[in-house]
Structure formats: C-alpha cells, structure tokens
Amino acid sequence: MQFVSELLVLILSLGLIGLFRKTKISQVFFIPPKTLEPENFNYPAAYVVNGESSTVSIINLNTNEVANLIQLTDGSGTQMQGMNMGKTLTFPHHIYLNTSKTQIAIAAPGMDLSAGHSGGMAGMKGKIAVLDAVTGVNVKIVETPIMNHNAIYSTDGKEIWTSQMDEVGKVLVYDATTFALKSTILVGKEPAEVTFSNDGTVAFVANGMDNSVTAINPTTKAILATIPVGKNPVGAWIGSDNRMYVDNEDGQTVSTIDVKTLKVVEIVALGFMPGYVAYQGDMKEMWVTDPMAGKVHWWTKDATGKMVRTGAFATAAGSHAIAFKDMTAYVTNQEAANVSVVDVMQHKVTKTIAVGKKPNGIVIR
C-alpha cells in the first residue's frame, strides 16, 4: 500500500509540473498582491472579459493571439502555495481602463446578462474588481449594495463610477485610490451602463425601466438633463463626433444624443435587437451588433449628416461589444466564445480568436 501511495503522489507531482511548464501561472490562478512574481503584459493588448468563464483573456495585438489568461476571484479564500484560491467572480461584465492605462475595472453583477438586461434579482449585490493592467495583480474588490452593470473610470482617472440596477436607480462614485464611496447620484429606474462623453464633460447613464438617459456633470455630480430615448436603453456609447449613441434593446432603435444640447437629434430604426453601438470616426460609420443573427450592421452619414444603412457582415453567434484599434475592429461573440478580428475598410473578418465562455466587454491598451 505504501508503494502505491508513493506512486500516486509521484504521478500527481509530475502532472502538476507538466501543467505549470506549459501554462503561465496567471493562466491557472489569479495572482494576489505580494505573493508571486507577477506577469508583465508589456505588449499592445486587448482585454476580453469572459462572463461565464469568469476570466479575462489578454490578446497580444502584435500577433492577434491570446497571450495570457487571468482567473477572476473575489479576493477571498485561503492562500495555497502563495496562490489565491478564493471564489470566482460570478458573471463579470464589461471592462474599462483608467486614463493612464495602468488599471482596469470590471463589474460583477452576479447574473448572466447575455440574453438581455431586464429582470434583475432583488437584493442581489454587485462587485467591482480592480486589477493592475500591466501585471494582472488584484488591486481591490469593492462590494456594491445592488447588482451593477459596469464600472468605469472618470476621465481624469480619479474616480470609479458604477450603476445600481434597481427601481430606485443610483450611480455610485468611488475614489479610485482609496475606494471609499464619495457620492451617490439618484437617476432613473434600473440604470445600466455608465459612460462619459468623448471630451469628458458629461457622464451618461441609461435607465432601462424609464426609457431615458440621465446626463450628469462629472465635477459637481448635478443632473444636467433627463433625456427620453427608446424602450429599454442599455448604454449611451461614445462617439468621437461629440455624440452619444444609445442602443434601445426593446425599441430596436438607436437614439443619437448631441453632447452640447443634450437632446436626441436622430432616431435610427434597426429592425433587430441591438447588442452594442460603436462609432468609427475615420470612416464616419456607426456599427451596431446584431446578436441574434451573429452580424455587425453599419451605417454611414449622408450629405445631410443623417445615418443611412450601408451593409452588414457576419461575425459569429451572439455578437456583442466592439473595440477599434486604428483600422482594425475586435468584436466579442458571446455564444461562440470567440473574438472576430475585422478589417474596417473591407468590412471583413480576417481572423477568429478563441477566448473564454460568453465574452462580453473588451478594451484596448
């Protein structure tokens, strides 16, 4: 029996050694601070948050291959051999960089939002995970009273804003250094994505149950306007043309808001439920993902500045978020568990990168 036991220990040891030889430490465990020598993601990177896998896939933009994988945990649990064995974050959702590109913030609402954004569970708490963008080290886990949709840095990088998806809608503002709660802003019912205008002068939150968008002064935290939009808005997405593009899930429209006037200047009928809207400034195109069909549709501005439907191309099932890097686009496909690399000028997928299950948010550093 002793020989058999020793043999089993030897086999397990060899298996673990082989695993760690083939895989970087950060691909197996989430690195806690001051316990392991951290990775150094010293390459142009796209960070993809995988909701069902509770991971972040880091794509090296020089090769368009996944170079590292971070397992997201809640920071709790026992330390085993210097590695954090805490519970995984439940359905992390969307990801943002701070201005200096040194930290990333990820929301963890605790439920799968891939099929839609209504019907949150009463009493469910949310979390914000803050990570070092260069090493993958866990900086802080902040628990929020109510489930949240995203966590985003203010334009100056000094604050982290997050929504509270409740009928009594709120936006919470945390200090990005101490992580203390600084402000609570009352907004509409069941707020989803919080975003900032391209010039940083206005914060926006889409109020799903109120069919409105709240515009906020980032400095004073005062409400500037409550803007009626379509049915069940999810996010007011940033345009480099000083406009915000609001995807209305149930209304199947995009409401375009002028940042200066804080009024809707155009409503674009889609004919499908949008997943995300992104404006490509060089081409002056509005891209909208169509998750049910696994496509991206695009519109261009005519001579009067009105959006005209121009074309569509296939990506993969559950197409969702879009991020541009020069004339290349990266599209997360939630149901296909991959990211499509797209030539912007040709509107053509040039490569498909396998990532984790149900990838939703993506940000480029």
pLDDT digits (tens, 9 = 90+) for 192-243: 999 999 999 999 999 999 999 999 999 999 999 999 999 999 999 999 899 9
159, pLDDT greater than 50: yes
pLDDT digits (tens, 9 = 90+) for 305-318: 899 999 999 999 99
Q: How many distinct helices (H) and strands (E) make up the chain? A: 1, 30
pLDDT digits (tens, 9 = 90+) for 242-261: 999 999 999 999 999 999 99
Q: Which pLDDT value is given to residue 342?
A: 99
Closest CA to 55 of 91, 84, 109: 91
24, pLDDT greater than 60: no
For 27, the 3-state DSSP assignment is: helix
> Can you tell me which residue has the tokens 């949310």?
126
Q: Which pLDDT value is given to residue 198?
A: 95
268, pLDDT greater than 80: yes
Q: What does residue 45 show for φ and ψ, rounded to 5 degrees?
A: -135, 150
- Domains of the chain, with CATH numbers? 25-186 (2.130.10.10), 198-269 (2.40.10.480), 278-365 (no CATH)
Which residue type is seen at 72? L
Q: Which pLDDT value is given to residue 112?
A: 82
Provide the mean pLDDT of the chain. Answer: 88
Confirm if 147 and 91 have CB atoms less than 8 A apart.
no
The half-sphere exposure of 111 on its side-chain side, counting CA atoms within 13 A, is 17
